[in-house]
Structure 1
């Protein structure tokens, strides 16, 4: 588990505590290298590289000015890799009518056993809480591969809207948007606890839902 001072966000939901911290190359490179070579990840990320080449890729990614990269945990176990990026500085802006409130994201769930409805939902709700609160966005944009039969049903159940199907350089994707209010309304059904930068905040996005208060 990351040192407590490194954790930016925690989110407890369905008896799971999801936490996020910034990527640390030396610590996280072996984990990501293992994940990128797994059968359920290789076809989508296409980063089954040598350790040296993946180090170069990760160094470039963490050093980019238009994105932030995070490791996510379920309880004490590494669970996911998250990229948050500025839509205005990414080619995805050319595929739809981008709005100033949009934030782009890529999410990789590493261990195969976490690719299920319950863990996937907890990770995505935690991700939403973290990104909406940290970046002040009101809509998160993603472009999962059309073949992703696990994440797509989960995010649709959480209120994501499919904008269109698009052809990217490396894949055919579903361009999807998750509105802050949609996650807010979904999350009100369940009790949760959350912190951001060490401060307790049990209100999902700093406002009331349309269905009542938390």
Structure 2
């Protein structure tokens, strides 16, 4: 898989060894809608990540969060205006970013990355330097022309590589709702290892979550196994 720099945000392949970076360098930033990461996947097309645009992407976002299986996101029932305002607020935060991942131009996944030390989950575990929290929502299966490929076999490793694009990220932190069996299973498929159940106060109220971690070293192995060494 070849990863290319986009805009003003060069990205690096997952390295064999990592120098000691500034662990604050964990999030890719850009203007609304900007492409901040790109991967050419051999035999499967191109996966890109874009800063979520709460206006231009609203149709996609509103349809996704109102699906029956999206209830754990706590956004169903919001008006279009309130949903746009919610993600406009996220866009204003330096510590929390939302991205729309596209496969050959078609939206497939909403990814939210955040600094866990600046999030309620920090009350549930001891945050380490380089930790990066991740939420993800699979909304599409990709282009019809690529349905000869198992969608998550392409999108899953690509999302994992994207989350580690910045050198300051040393470990991903997942905390899906413990009742959300699909998200817990997908997190395990990502390569996360569960570390037990935790409880904390989320913006939507009390949350019981499965806490899990994926270190950079494991991500390197999974991405290499899925796509081969970066070119």
Q: Common fold, TM-score beyond 0.5?
A: yes
Long gaps (5+) in structure 2 = 1-5, 8-33, 143-148
Once the two structures are superposed, residues 44-88 of structure 1 have per-residue CA deviations (whole angstroms, 9 ceiling, x without a partner) of: 111121111112211111111211221111222111111111111
Partner residue of 1:35 out of 48, 64, 72: 64
DSSP-derived class of the 2:128 partner:
coil
Partner residue of 1:19 out of 36, 48, 53: 48
Q: Distance in 2 between matches of 1:28 and 1:125?
A: 23
Q: Distance in 2 between matches of 1:77 and 1:177?
A: 29
Q: Distance in 2 between matches of 1:157 and 1:127?
A: 12
Farther-moved stretch of structure 1 (147-156 vs 129-138): 147-156
Match of 1:171 in 2: 207
Cα 1:157–1:179 shift into 2, 3 Å: same
* 1:154 CA displacement: 3.5
Q: Does 1:78 align with 2:107?
A: yes
Farther-moved stretch of structure 1 (16-25 vs 88-97): 16-25
* 1:130 CA displacement: 1.6
DSSP-derived class of the 2:186 partner:
helix
Cα 1:103–1:192 shift into 2, 3 Å: same
Normalized per residue, the structure richer in helix is 1
* 1:170 CA displacement: 4.6
Once the two structures are superposed, residues 136-156 of structure 1 have per-residue CA deviations (whole angstroms, 9 ceiling, x without a partner) of: 211010111223333433332
Long gaps (5+) in structure 1 = 194-201, 204-214
TM-score, normalized by length of structure 2?
Answer: 0.72
Equivalent residue runs for 1:49-198 within 5 Å: 49-111=78-140, 113=141, 118-134=150-166, 136-168=168-200, 169-191=205-227
Once the two structures are superposed, residues 167-197 of structure 1 have per-residue CA deviations (whole angstroms, 9 ceiling, x without a partner) of: 343532111111111121122223358xxxx
DSSP-derived class of the 1:99 partner:
coil
Cα 1:51–1:104 shift into 2, 3 Å: same
Q: Distance in 1 between matches of 2:56 and 2:167?
A: 25
